[in-house]
Amino acid sequence: MEIRKSTLPVLKPFGGDEEVDALREVIESGWWGKGPKVEQFEREFAKMVGHKYAIGLTSNTHGLDLVLKAKGIKDCNFISPTMSFMTTGVVPIWNNCTSTLCDVDPRTLNIDPDDVKKQLKKDTKAVLAVNMAGIPADIDGIREHFEGLIIEDCAHSCYTPGAGTKGDIAIWSFQAVKTMPCGDGGMITTNDEALYEQLRPMTWLGIGASTYDRTRTGRTGPDGKALPGYSWDYEVDTIGYKAYMIDIMATICLEQMKKLDGHLATRRHIQKRYNTELAGYITPPDWSETVQYYCARVPKEDRDDLIDYLGSKKIHTSVHFKPLHLHPVLAQERPFPVADNEWKHLISLPVHPGMTDDDTDYVIYWVKKYFDNK
C-alpha cells in the first residue's frame, strides 16, 4: 500500500459550516462573553445527562478545583487513579491535599475499588473516579468501602448512557479532542440545588449575577419596578474565581451536540473494525460507547517500535496514559503492579469522526504489516 502524503492524527476535532455559521451569528451579535448561548447549552446538557443543574466552565480542570473548594476538600487525603491525565493528580495539591494515587483494574484501566480500600486514611474526604476512555468506573464498588464524596470524572464519557449519575457530582470536558469539543471547556452537573447555588458565583469572582443577567433584567427603582438600562451594581460576599464558559465556546458545543450521535456512531464503527480485523494482532480494549481513545494492547517489546513504524507510515499514535506516579511531581513510594505493567503494552490507534473507511483500512493494513514482517 502506498504511504499517504498527510499524517493521520490519532485524535482530531471535526466540525464544518454549521459551527462557522453559528459562530458568525454570535460574533455579529456583539455578545461574545457569558450570555444566552451558555444558558442554552447548560439547559440542554443537563437534560441530556439527566441532571437538574449544569454550570459551564473554561475546563474540566477548573471544574474539579471548584468542586473541591465548594465542598471544603482541603488539608486532607484525596484519592484518584494513577492512569489518568495530570489534572486529577495536581488539582488536589492546589488545595493542599495529599494526592494519593490508586492502582487500576487490568481490563478497564479504571480505579480499582480494592486498592481504594487499601489507601483510605482517617482524613480521606474524597475519591475521584475517571471513566477511562468512556468505560464506566466501578463506583458501586468504591461505595462499599467509602461513604464520603465521590466525584465522577466524565471527561471521556460524553456521552455514555448513565455517565455522571453514580457519583455525587460529575465533571465533564469539551477540550479540543474530546467527543464534543469546543477548543476547551468543561461542565459541572449535579442534582444538589444548594451546591449549584454555591458554585454559580464561584465561577466569576463571587459575582452572583452575570453581566448578561444584569443587562437583561436592567435596574429596579425604589418601588421595585423595572427601569430601562443596564444594572452596573452588584455585591460580592464570597471568594470566587474566573472560570466561566463564554458564548463562543457554548456555540460550538451546541452544534457539536447536534452531531454527537453521528460522531459516536463513527467512533464505534472504527472500534468494531479494529476489534474484528486486528484480532490476533492486538488485544482490544473493553467496549466503549464513546471510544474517546482506542487503547489497544500489544507486546511491550513491540510497543515503541510499532509507534515508530506507524509514524513512518504517516499514522499518528499515542499512549493513554503514562501513569501519574511515574512523574516526579507525583512520585509515590509504593508499587502499582497493574498500572506499571499495563501501560507498557498500550498504544492508542487513531479514532475520530473525521476518519473514513479508507483511513481505517490504512491503519489496519500497516498494523498487520508490522506484525506479519516480524
> Is-same-fold flag (17-254; 260-372)?
no
130-142 per-position pLDDT tens digit: 999 999 999 999 9
CA quadruple 34, 39, 42, 45: dihedral sign? negative
Contacts of 239 (CB under 8 A, 6+ apart): 202, 206
Instruction: Give mean pLDDT, residues 230-254.
Output: 92
CATH of segment(s) 260-372 = 3.90.1150.10
- Looking at residue 219, what is its pLDDT? 57
Distance CA 271, CA 274 (A): 5
Give yes or no for a contact between 70 and 197, defined as CB atoms under 8 angstroms apart.
no
Distance CA 37, CA 57 (A): 13
Question: Can you give the residue ranges of every domain in the chain?
Answer: 17-254, 260-372
CATH of segment(s) 17-254 = 3.40.640.10
Instruction: Give mean pLDDT, residues 20-27.
Output: 98
319-335 per-position pLDDT tens digit: 999 999 999 999 999 99
% of residues, the chain, pLDDT over 90:
92
- Looking at residue 229, what is its pLDDT? 64
326-361 per-position pLDDT tens digit: 999 999 999 999 999 999 999 999 999 999 999 999
85-111 per-position pLDDT tens digit: 999 999 999 999 999 999 999 999 999
Distance CA 357, CA 347 (A): 20
Look over the chain and give the mean of its residue pLDDT values, rounded to a whole number.
96
Amino acid sitting at position 226: A
Residue with grid cell 435596574, as numbered in its chain: 219
Q: Which residue has the higher pLDDT, 233 or 330?
A: 330
165-199 per-position pLDDT tens digit: 999 999 999 999 999 999 999 999 999 999 999 99
Radius of gyration of the chain (CA): 22
3-state secondary structure of 358: helix
Question: Which set of grid coordinates corresponds to residue 340?
Answer: 506499571
- Looking at residue 290, what is its pLDDT? 98
Q: Which residue has the higher pLDDT, 210 or 373?
A: 373
Give yes or no for a contact between 192 and 77, defined as CB atoms under 8 angstroms apart.
no
214-224 per-position pLDDT tens digit: 777 655 666 66
32-78 per-position pLDDT tens digit: 999 999 999 999 999 999 999 999 999 999 999 999 999 999 999 99
Measuring CA to CA, which residue among 351, 345, 294, 8 is closest to residue 133?
294
Instruction: Give mean pLDDT, residues 257-271.
Output: 98
- Looking at residue 25, what is its pLDDT? 98
Instruction: Give mean pLDDT, residues 294-323.
Output: 98
Question: How many whole angstroms from its chain centre is CA 287?
Answer: 18
Distance CA 40, CA 35 (A): 9
CA quadruple 150, 158, 86, 93: dihedral sign? negative
